[in-house]
């Protein structure tokens, strides 16, 4: 049998339950995006780790090229934003991570353009300390990372907007229900 007697306490609990369920679903999604960022960080550091391993087994000791440090820095940025997203799973933090991924995508775009368009002797390959045989592969790597960072930015921004809209709709519906119940 359905109980049609609506009590204010049960109505309040119903709205809290709806909000909690919606919020918990979004938190899981934010943490999934954080896990994806950690995966991207691991993938991003693989070429640097391989080069570093080969460098450590060489007889002649040369300084490590600058691109190794920059690649590790990019991976650390991904990890920092993933930790931030796990600690503060909210639509605003998701939006902040989305903007950060957009800035990282822009950086990879600039690097890929400088590596692909140049003939291997331009400013960017020299700045990064890339050997001439690695310039083409580095350009393709930057394009791949550009696509991944752009995708992460898009998905994070889209989910942030949906999360914000869902929260405002739930709060608006609850306020309307309370106003209607108070009349």
Residue 123 lies in a domain: yes
Number of structural domains found in the chain? 1
Provide the 10 A C-beta neighbour count for residue 87.
Answer: 9
Residue 53 lies in a domain: yes
Residue 178 lies in a domain: no
Residue 105 lies in a domain: yes
Q: State the residue range of the domain holding 102.
A: 22-57+66-170
Question: d(Cα 165, Cα 171) in Å, to the nearest integer?
Answer: 10
User: pLDDT-based confidence at 67, cuts 50/70/90?
Assistant: very high
* DSSP H or E segment with residue 95: helix 91-117
Q: For 26-66, write each residue's pLDDT tens digit.
A: 889 999 999 999 999 999 999 999 988 888 888 777 888 99
* Three-class SS state of 59: coil
pLDDT of residue 68: 93
Report percent pLDDT > 70 for the chain: 91
* Helix axis angle, 135-182 to 91-117, nearest 10°: 160
Which residues have a Cβ under 8 Å from the Cβ of 137 and sit 6 or more positions away?
A: none
CA 74 → CA 46, 137, 161, 170, distances in Å? 12, 18, 26, 38
Residue 80 lies in a domain: yes
Residue 183 lies in a domain: no
Quick one: average pLDDT of 144-169? 92
Residue 7 lies in a domain: no
pLDDT of residue 75: 96
Is the pLDDT assigned to residue 183 strictly greater than 70? no
pLDDT of residue 145: 95
Which residues have a Cβ under 8 Å from the Cβ of 86 and sit 6 or more positions away?
A: 30, 31, 34
Q: Are 101 and 92 in contact (CB under 8 A)?
A: no
Is the pLDDT assigned to residue 181 strictly greater than 70? no
Q: For 88-128, write each residue's pLDDT tens digit.
A: 999 999 999 999 999 999 999 999 999 988 777 788 999 99
Question: If you count them, how many residues does the chain have?
Answer: 183
Residue 155 lies in a domain: yes
* Three-class SS state of 29: helix
């Amino acid at each position: 049998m359905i109980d049609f007697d609506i009590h204010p306490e049960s109505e309040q609990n119903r709205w809290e339950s709806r909000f909690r369920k919606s919020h918990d679903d979004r938190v899981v999604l934010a943490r999934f995006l954080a896990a994806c960022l950690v995966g991207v960080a691991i993938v991003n550091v693989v070429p640097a780790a391989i080069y570093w391993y080969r460098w450590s087994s060489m007889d002649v000791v040369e300084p490590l090229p600058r691109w190794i440090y920059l690649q590790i820095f990019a991976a650390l940025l991904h990890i920092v934003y993933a930790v931030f997203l796990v600690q503060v799973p909210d639509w605003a933090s998701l939006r902040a991570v989305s903007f950060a991924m957009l800035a990282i995508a822009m950086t990879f775009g600039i690097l890929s353009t400088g590596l692909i368009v140049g003939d291997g002797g331009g400013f960017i390959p020299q700045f990064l300390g890339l050997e001439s045989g690695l310039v083409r592969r580095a350009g393709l790597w930057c394009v791949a990372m550009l696509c991944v960072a752009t995708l992460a930015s898009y998905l994070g921004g889209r989910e942030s907007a949906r999360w914000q809209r869902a929260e405002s709709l739930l709060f608006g519906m609850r306020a309307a229900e309370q106003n209607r119940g108070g009349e």
